[in-house]
Structure 1
Amino acid sequence: MKAGKPKSSAVYVREFRARMREAGLVKKDVWIRPEYARDLAAAEQRFRQIPGTATTAASAPAQRDDAAATPGWTLPSLQHALETSPLVQSGGIEVHRSEGADPTLRLVMREYGDLPVFIAVGGWQIVVQVLMWPVDHVTDPAAFNAHVLRTHKLLPLTTMGIEPVAGVASYIMFGSLGTQSSLADILFEIDTLAENVIACVDAYGFFLRDDVLPQDETRP
């Protein structure tokens, strides 16, 4: 990930919620079986459209691209595929490459308050990662860690961990796929990770210090 002082995901969640409200959207919680997660994500995108307008390519369900996945993704080939995908072409995602000892792709998720998502490709694995917040943003890290271990299964396809980010011990959320995965599955993982960041702030926000909580978040 890039050097400098990165922002906590709570900041991006705040921006995401502000944009949703400005668009006239309202938040509704739903309970579904986990196997319907992909269908719900597609339905949510459709329901964000203004009635009577055409569904955009960015909100249409992604199609499998098994032919593209056959040789196995490299960072350059994945970058090219993402840059030519409807989600990027429509402006929903920006793709940037960060050079260094371990080059990564940095995706700016426009529909999620400009949340940055980082992608690394190494060996047979693709890792999709988001910075959540520094450890010192949590009021009781030991209690938080125990709570996450008990409840992280509620966040599909992602895991939380701790690693240094710009020299600061920080919580991250990540998911991984094989380099043989289809482009559709990679895009679904990216979108699921972004959705889980929002869900994570909702579920775990009461562990954060008051000064880093989204403004509309309240203590239970």
Structure 2
Amino acid sequence: MSLSPAERTRLWRAERQRLGLVKLELWVPPGAKADIQAAARAIITASSRGPALLRNPDPPQGSFQMDHVIDTDWSVKSLAAALTETRLLRDGELTARVLEGSEPVLQITMHEFGDLPIYLSVGAEQIVVSALMWPVDEQKDQAAFNVFLLKAQKLVPLSNFGITTVAGRDYYEIFGELACKTTLQTVIIELRMLAENAIRAADELRETFASAA
């Protein structure tokens, strides 16, 4: 049963009180809005996991600190090295390895999300991170679902949906894009966000579409 706007507001207020949430207002440059929103969401997500944070209680150290801003573009290999060295990650959170080819790709296994594989590539102007979901030909009523997915896209923060071809078969794909010059912290936030959105898309979006059909 759907809730009215007033009922949703009352439930949200009760949940805020239960969790002890507080409201913060920040004035930031327009270009920083997406990073600030992503950082805030990542902090909330991480803090809700509680004990997982106890495995990495020390502040970041070394070459790749939280506020480390680079002057040169990332490459697949430099990102692999940075993810191995950094202490911004929780213990055992992910594993990264370089897949060699005509264009190297970084395969990142997100252990906290059921070993979900995420693929990262670096182009001339941007970093692209993506995760395959399910084959297009397994989706019932593909045309209607594609329209539904485009309408639902705004509900999935900092990620986009597309279709990509792997070994001659089309798959739904979820992806995000970053500038080649960005902080390692932002890359990690994008990886966590993409993994969370991929899991949500595989469960909630397909179920919502099926129930509405």
Q: How does 1:17-32 map to 2 (within 5 A)?
A: none
Indicate whether 1:65 and 2:68 are aligned: yes
3-state secondary structure, aligned to 2:40:
helix
1:136 CA displacement:
1.2
Residue in structure 2 matched with residue 29 of structure 1 by the alignment: none
Cα offsets for 1:156-192 (capped at 9, x unmatched):
1111111102321111111111110111111111111
Structure 1: segments with no counterpart, 5+ residues: 1-31, 209-217
The whole-number CA distance in structure 2 between the counterparts of 1:160 and 1:59 is 36
Residue in structure 1 matched with residue 188 of structure 2 by the alignment: 187
1:81 CA displacement:
0.7
Indicate whether 1:137 and 2:138 are aligned: yes
Question: Contact 1:70–1:180 (CA<8 Å) still a contact in 2?
Answer: yes
Question: Contact 2:39–2:186 (CA<8 Å) still a contact in 1?
Answer: no
TM-score by length of 1: 0.70
Question: Contact 1:79–1:105 (CA<8 Å) still a contact in 2?
Answer: yes
Residue in structure 1 matched with residue 178 of structure 2 by the alignment: 177
Question: Contact 1:87–1:93 (CA<8 Å) still a contact in 2?
Answer: no
Residue in structure 1 matched with residue 163 of structure 2 by the alignment: 162
1:54 CA displacement:
6.3
TM-score by length of 2: 0.72
Indicate whether 1:56 and 2:59 are aligned: no
List, as ranges, runs of 4+ consecutive aligned residues in structure 1 with deviation greater than 4 Å: 32-37, 58-62
Q: Partner amino acid for 1:191? A: R
Moved more, 57-66 or 36-45: 57-66
Q: 1:207 to 1:102 in 2, by over 3 A?
A: farther
The whole-number CA distance in structure 2 between the counterparts of 1:128 and 1:117 is 7
Question: Contact 2:135–2:169 (CA<8 Å) still a contact in 1?
Answer: yes
Residue in structure 2 matched with residue 5 of structure 1 by the alignment: none
1:80 CA displacement:
0.8
1:122 CA displacement:
1.3
How many residue pairs get aligned? The number is 178
Question: Contact 1:64–1:185 (CA<8 Å) still a contact in 2?
Answer: no
Question: Contact 1:162–1:171 (CA<8 Å) still a contact in 2?
Answer: yes
Instruction: Calculate the aligned-residue CA RMSD, in Å.
Output: 3.1
3-state secondary structure, aligned to 1:139:
coil
Q: How does 1:88-99 map to 2 (within 5 A)?
A: 90-99=91-100
Between the two structures, name the one with larger relative contact order (CA 8 Å, sep ≥ 6): 1
Moved more, 97-106 or 111-120: 97-106
Q: How does 1:95-106 map to 2 (within 5 A)?
A: 95-106=96-107
The whole-number CA distance in structure 2 between the counterparts of 1:206 and 1:173 is 17
The whole-number CA distance in structure 1 between the counterparts of 2:90 and 2:155 is 32
Question: Contact 1:106–1:117 (CA<8 Å) still a contact in 2?
Answer: yes
Question: Contact 2:53–2:90 (CA<8 Å) still a contact in 1?
Answer: no
Moved more, 39-48 or 129-138: 39-48
Question: Contact 2:107–2:117 (CA<8 Å) still a contact in 1?
Answer: yes
Structure index of larger Rg: 2
1:194 CA displacement:
0.6
3-state secondary structure, aligned to 1:142:
helix
Q: Partner amino acid for 1:106? A: Q
